[in-house]
Amino acid sequence: MGLYTCSYIPNIRHFNKFFNKNIPISVNDYIDIHKARDYQEVLQFLAKPIPFCKYCDVKNRKDGIEWKTSTNRIEEYL
């Protein structure tokens, strides 16, 4: 079972399929909790950025976006 630092990573497959994209996930983007040596390894993983973080534009993230029915346009997700 994988543990992810954010919800985008395990769900990017839906985005990729719908918009015909190929944003990859690597084995460095999550940690298998059954293979971790101890909780310290899990905490260290959660404390640092992962390769998938390069796809997020955190500085331009907007808050307070109106909640409404999707128009299914990629601009809603960028």
What integer pLDDT is reported at residue 29 of this predicted model? 96
- Cβ atoms of 32 and 2 closer than 8 Å: yes
What integer pLDDT is reported at residue 64 of this predicted model? 81
What integer pLDDT is reported at residue 66 of this predicted model? 85
Ramachandran angles phi, psi of 62, nearest 5°: -110, 140
Question: What is the pTM for the complete model shown?
Answer: 0.78
Q: What is the mean pLDDT of each run of 10 residues along the chain (78 residues)?
A: 90 95 95 95 94 89 85 85
Residue 44 token pair: 């260290």
What integer pLDDT is reported at residue 13 of this predicted model? 95
